[in-house]
Amino acid sequence: MRFNFAKLLFVLIFFLSSTSFFVQKANAASLTSVSDTISTSRPSAAAPLSAAVLSGVGELQIFDNGSFFLASDSAVILKDAANETSDVSLKIASMSATGVPSATNRIVYFTNTVSNPHHQGVALVTPVTSTHTIKFTTISTIPSSGTILITFPGSGSNTASPSATGFSFNGELATPTDVICFPTSACATSKASNQLNSFTFTTNAIIAGGTTIYINIGCTTAGSGPCTAFAPRLINPTKTAAAGSADTWKVNVQTTDTVANGSVVLDSAILRAATVESVQVQATVEPTITFSIAGLANSANYNTSATQCGSETSNSGIDSTATSVNLGLLSSGILNKVAQTLTVTTNGSSGYAITATASGHLINPASGVYFSDANGPSGSNPLTANDTPGPQPIATGSSDFGISPCGARVPTLIWGLSGTIVSNSNFSNPWNTGTNGFSVTIASYTGPVSNDVTVVRYAVGVSTTHPSGLYSNVFSYVATATF
């Protein structure tokens, strides 16, 4: 067989000439100390409605796909047709436990109401945004006008809705905002992104090998490295792994020399960012209230026990106790007075109220003779804003009996003067008694308090012709907290 030397020569010449057009690509070095620190690792929440929703409701059912809507979240119900409107900023109150109301559904409660009707299947979403601080150390020198390319997983959707496949860019593609690099030479003045799921940063100076670079995406202030003032931009993915297990996401970082020999990858690395559901921590504070009644010494100044009580003291000559008030021997022309303190402590978020209820008149059971009740506030019972506040004074020389509270918590509408008592020699201060079971509020407040004190004063006057005898009645005090 003849050997074709001409054909062999042609093949050899073609091979030698062809290899001159191809340059073997050098292997890129691996970046070191690579990390992506995100300001929150909580996944975004997105779940379809399991039942239609009407406008004006304060709750809805979703399919239980593992999404967690936390109290105080701001949620959005997406619109399901071109002619429908989404519901934005629905404030989450709480979400029912797993398996309620069924094994596959759960209920989400709002602090406000849904504005528009929605069909089954549309999504209730809470986008969770985070700041990304990407850190790496270069191996090769990056020339001026080189690039740093950061590529995120998924399609990098430019919408404001969360994705199950990666981070959504939330309008950050064309002109990323709030991006800070250190050193500043790692980012040119214009920070441009030219792909659907990546950011490309152009260097504005030579960056030597061995330089540690920080790129903060969603940041307004940073020192020599990590972000210190956050403006989260990218939207975290939704949950796909089982509860308690993190979803991990690959982020690619590479540096490129775009000047010499075309576009050459210098260093690269793949890092991982993890998202996992937040841990819901709960604790219960039991509602509490303590209420005590204490006596006052005959010589005690009421104002030392509660403010706005003036410089008054008892004059019956007998100290009061927690269970007894003795107004002593009565004499015409003098008002006998005794006082007690009522003290409340409560963690009630809406405070408390103390009401006083009388068994009836100050009466002599043997004869049926009684002291007149001091004139109460004018108007209806219960009082309204149109009534004249403040009871009328007890006149000396008349057979009248009543009580009067003083202190910072005395209701203005009922007692007038915000509870301020103005004393004088005739003791002509507001007094009122509960008649035949009539009750009246003597103190109230709208928040938690500790050792809140109100003074209750008892006073009686007597005429010269009032029949002798032993007179009595019973007052009951009830403190009610509002939780």
HEC string for the chain: CCCCHHHHHHHHHHHHHHHCCCCCCCCCEECEEEEEEECCCCCEEEEEECCCECCCCCEEEEECCCCCCCCCCEEEECCCCCCCCCEEEEEEEEECCCCCECCCEEEEEECCCCCCCECCCCEEEECCEECEEEEEECCCCECCCCEEEEECCCCCCCCCCCCCCCCECCCCCCCCCCEEEECHHHCCCCCCCCECCEEEEECCCCECCCCEEEEEECEEEECCCCEEEECCCEECCECCCCCCCCEEEEEEEEEEECCCCCCEEEEEEEEEEEECCCCCCCCCCCCCEEEEEEECCCCCCHHHCCCCCCCCCCCCCCCCCCCCCCCCCCCCCCCEEEEEEEEEEECCCCCEEEEEEECCCCECCCCCCECEECCCCECCCCCCCCCECCCCECCCCCCEEEEEEECCCCCHHHHCHHHCCCCCCCCCCECECCCCCCEEEEEEECCCEEEEEEEEEEEECCCCCCCCCCCECCEEEEEEECC
Q: How far apart are CA 423 and CA 393, in angstroms?
A: 11
Task: Sort strands 264-275 and 29-30 into parallel, antiparallel or unpaired.
Answer: parallel
Determine contact, residues 177/124, Cβ cutoff 8 Å: no
pLDDT of amino acid 10:
40
Rounded to 10 degrees, what is the CA torsion of 264, 269, 270, 276?
A: -130
Q: What is the pLDDT of residue 27?
A: 53
**Contact criterion met (CB below 8 Å) for 461 and 399:** yes
pLDDT score at 432: 53
**What was the pLDDT predicted at 97?**
83
pLDDT at position 334, please?
A: 86
Sorted by sequence, the CB contacts under 8 Å of residue 133 that are 6+ apart come out as: 36, 37, 38, 214, 215, 216, 217, 219, 226, 227
Q: Which parts of the chain register pLDDT below 70?
A: 1-28, 82-83, 156-158, 173-175, 189-196, 260-262, 374-393, 416-438
Task: Look at residue 154 in the predicted model and tell me its pLDDT.
Answer: 77
Cα pseudo-dihedral 295, 301, 304, 309, rounded to 10: 100
Q: What is the CATH number of domain 29-41+129-275?
A: 2.60.40
How confident is the model at residue 58, as a pLDDT? Answer: 95
Evaluate the CA torsion angle 135, 136, 141, 142 in order and state its sign.
negative
Tokens of 143: 């020339």
Residue 173, Cβ neighbours under 10 Å: how many? 18
Could you report the per-residue pLDDT of 318-350, keeping only the tens digit for each? 999 999 999 999 998 888 999 999 999 999 999
Cβ-proximal residues to 13 (8 Å cutoff; 6+ apart), any chain = none
Q: What is the assigned CATH class of domain 45-126?
A: mainly beta
pLDDT value at position 17? 39
CA dihedral (376, 377, 379, 382) in degrees, to 10, reads -80
Q: Are 75 and 90 in contact (CB under 8 A)?
A: yes
Token couple for 145: 């006008």
**pLDDT, tens digit, 9 for 90 and up, residues 271-284:** 999 999 888 787 88
How many Å apart are CA 335 and CA 374, to the nearest integer? 13
pLDDT at residue 437, as a whole number = 47
Where are the chain's structural domains? 29-41+129-275, 45-126, 289-481
Closest C-alpha among 468, 323, 337 to residue 404: 337
Side-chain half-sphere CA neighbours of 322 within 13 A: 5
Q: What is the pLDDT of residues 402-460, one digit of tens each?
A: 888 888 898 877 776 543 433 333 333 445 554 434 678 889 999 999 999 999 989 89
State residue 279's pLDDT score: 82
Task: Give me 231's structure tokens.
Answer: 């403006």
The Cα–Cα gap between 253 and 482 comes to 58
- Which residue's entry shows tokens 């020999």? 261
Which residue shows structure tokens 């100050």? Answer: 362
Share of the chain above pLDDT 90, in %: 49
Average predicted confidence (pLDDT) for the chain: 82
